[in-house]
Amino acid sequence: MTPSPRSGSSSGQNQPRGGKPRSGAPKSGAPRSGAPKAGGFKAGSPKSGGFKSGGKAGAPKSGGYQGASSKPGARKPSQTGARPFKNEQYGRTVSSSKNRPTEQNRRPERTTDDIDIHNVDGVRLQKVMAQAGVASRRLCEDMILEGRVQVDGVTVTQLGLRVDPEIVEIAVDGMTIQTNESMVYMVFNKPKGVVSTMDDPEGRPCISDFLKKRQTRERLFHVGRLDTNTEGLLLLTNDGELSNRLSHPKYGIPKTYLVQVRGPMAHGVGAQLKDGVELEDGWQKVDSFRLVDSTPGHVLAEVVLHSGKNRIVRRMFDAVGYPVERLVRVKFGPIALGDQRQGSVRVLGRHEVGYLLADVGM
């Protein structure tokens, strides 16, 4: 007698591979209950291509600070190394032209433990800094706590100091900030044909023709000179000491020019200018020379030099056989002309003023 098959065995034997499974059985290849789906990753993993701060579930969001105290009212530290004057519109037109001391290699010799500079009738230091445009008062406080602020050469590391902004010198990261509101610092993009004087008895166009009425009331000095046919950057200020230092050869403030001459230019002219050429008032040389552009019949070069002698660039190029067709000063010390419109005057930002003062030791 033939034994009968076990219950359900015949249906399982006759069912094709990959067919519909029995009721209640898991689907082919499907994970068990509670397992993640194929290729997926449950909570706590970063999304594809991204990475959340902390990685694990419950970690603080990006930008959080785990080391800060969790007590109510506890102060979290600011962004590390907050940059002063970071919100200035013209911050990109300034760069140091000298190797000034940095926070790492500067070693202040005096602190508030040695010298008392507190003025009970003064203004809080962080408020003076904020009013000078350094940063928000909160960030100024953090700069003080980080030891980045000096008052009259004394490093301040505690809050609460009061000072008289009219008589003290305040520096952030070694750069002096200007707290005297009466001082004026401007950049003029001089066009060709304008005389580098505030008034011309011959009636030619001069600097004052481009100033607003309120600006002409100030007694402004133009730092250095540009001859009538030379264009570009001219500094204007009522700060006589700064004007004298920027013009004095002792401080060696570099000036950058774009020079257009007839081309092509022979090989070795740049090296000749860097080695020095003999002029009627002695040997002169440029600090650097590079070709910027070349078109049929014309060459554009950039030269940097410290000398402020009259028509020095034109005379040097005449000496090597390439008379200047067009000359534009694009940078004076740390201040660059950028995309400033020709014939316009703009007020320097406090960041730019700080770099100017630092470059001449003020």
Active-site annotation, residues: 227
Dihedral sign of CA atoms 272, 332, 188, 94 in order: positive
Pick from 327, 342, 117: nearest CA to 229: 327
Give the end-to-end CA distance of the chain in Å, rounded to a whole number: 117
Structure tokens at 106: 């500067």
Handedness of CA 209, 211, 212, 213 (dihedral sign): negative
- What one-character DSSP code corresponds to residue 110? -
Structure tokens at 352: 């730019």
Provide the token pair at 57. 């579930």
Indicate the pairing of strand 288-295 with strand 123-124. unpaired
Measured CA to CA, the distance from residue 56 to residue 219 in angstroms comes to 64
